[in-house]
C-alpha cells in the first residue's frame, strides 16, 4: 500500500485538531458535553479526522444527530429520567464508551494504510476490510442505541421487557433503563438490550415516581443484576457489535 506525503498528513492533522477544538468548545457551551466530555471529545475527534476525513465525518454525524435528539422533548424527559441533564452534558466516560474502540481502530487503519482511504475488499486485505466494517458497525450501534433512548422515551406506547416481553413501566427509556425494547425503534441494539436486562439493575422508585438504576428501600426491582452500569453496557455492546460487523464485512465483501 502507498502512503500519503508527510506534509499532507500533517495538514490533515492540523485541520482535524482545529475543527475538533471548535466543535468541542461549542458542544460544551451548548451543554451537549460537560468539561471532561469536551476534553475527551476533542481528542477522539481530532484523531478520527487526522486518520481520515471519512471517519471523522462518520463520528461527527453520530455526535451531531445524537446531540439534536437529546434536546428533543426535554421537558418530558426532565420529568421522567433519573439522571436528566439539560442538553445531555455527557462526561468523558460516556464519550469514551461510545468512541474509544473506533478511535483505536482508526489509528490501526491509518498505520496499516499509510493514511490512504481504502474500500471494503477482502481480496485486497481482509484485515483492513474488517477494520472498516467494525468502525461502521461501531457507530451504527451507538446511533441506534442513542436514538432509541432519546426518541423511545417520548413514545406513547407501553415498553416491554426484552427477556419476557411483558409490559413494564411506561417511561422506561433505554438511556437509564436499557432492558426496555420499544417496538417503534427496531434499530435499537438487541445485544445492548439483553445486556441491560440481565446485568444492569433497574427498579421503580415509588417516591420519585421514576425508574432508577440503584437499589433502595423505596425501590422495587424490575430486572437485572448490579454488575454493569449503563456506560459499561454500552461499551460491551459496542465491542460485540463491532466484532460482528467486522466479521460480516469480511465474509460479504
3-state helix, strand and coil shares in percent for the chain, rounded to the nearest 5: 60, 10, 35
Task: Say if residue 2's pLDDT is above 70.
Answer: no
- Helix, strand, or coil (residue 223): strand
Q: What proportion of the chain, given as a percentage, has pLDDT over 70?
A: 87
Higher pLDDT, 152 or 140: 140
Give pLDDT, residue 220: 80
Task: Read off the pTM.
Answer: 0.79
Is 48 in contact with 61 (CB distance < 8 Å)?
no
Instruction: Give CA–CA dist 32/172, Å, rounded.
Output: 22
Using one digit for the tens of pLDDT, what is the confidence trace for 144-162? 888 877 787 777 776 677 7
Give pLDDT, residue 26: 94
Task: Say if residue 186's pLDDT is above 80.
Answer: no
* Domain-wise residue ranges, the chain: 6-252
Instruction: Give CA–CA dist 106/55, Å, rounded.
Output: 7
Give pLDDT, residue 179: 40
Amino acid at each position: 500500500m502507498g502512503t500519503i506525503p508527510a506534509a499532507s498528513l500533517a495538514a490533515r492533522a492540523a485541520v482535524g485538531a482545529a475543527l475538533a477544538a471548535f466543535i468541542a468548545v461549542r458542544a460544551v457551551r451548548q451543554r451537549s458535553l460537560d468539561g471532561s466530555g469536551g476534553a475527551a471529545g476533542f481528542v477522539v475527534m481530532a484523531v478520527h479526522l487526522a486518520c481520515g476525513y471519512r471517519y471523522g465525518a462518520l463520528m461527527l454525524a453520530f455526535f451531531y444527530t445524537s446531540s439534536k435528539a437529546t434536546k428533543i422533548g426535554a421537558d418530558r424527559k426532565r420529568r421522567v429520567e433519573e439522571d436528566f441533564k439539560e442538553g445531555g452534558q455527557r462526561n468523558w466516560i460516556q464519550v469514551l464508551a461510545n468512541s474509544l474502540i473506533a478511535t483505536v481502530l482508526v489509528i490501526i487503519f491509518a498505520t496499516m494504510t499509510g493514511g490512504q482511504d481504502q474500500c471494503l475488499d477482502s481480496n485486497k486485505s481482509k484485515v483492513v476490510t474488517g477494520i472498516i466494517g467494525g468502525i461502521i458497525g461501531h457507530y451504527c450501534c451507538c446511533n441506534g442505541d442513542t436514538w432509541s433512548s432519546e426518541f423511545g422515551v417520548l413514545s406513547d406506547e407501553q415498553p416491554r421487557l426484552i427477556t419476557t416481553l411483558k409490559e413494564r413501566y411506561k417511561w422506561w427509556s433505554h438511556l437509564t433503563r436499557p432492558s426496555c425494547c420499544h417496538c417503534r425503534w427496531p434499530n435499537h441494539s438487541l445485544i445492548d438490550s439483553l445486556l441491560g436486562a440481565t446485568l444492569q439493575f433497574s427498579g421503580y422508585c415509588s417516591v420519585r415516581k421514576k425508574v432508577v438504576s440503584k437499589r433502595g428501600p423505596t425501590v422495587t426491582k424490575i430486572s437485572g443484576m448490579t454488575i454493569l452500569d449503563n456506560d459499561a453496557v454500552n461499551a460491551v455492546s459496542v465491542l460485540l457489535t463491532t466484532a460482528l460487523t467486522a466479521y460480516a464485512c469480511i465474509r460479504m465483501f
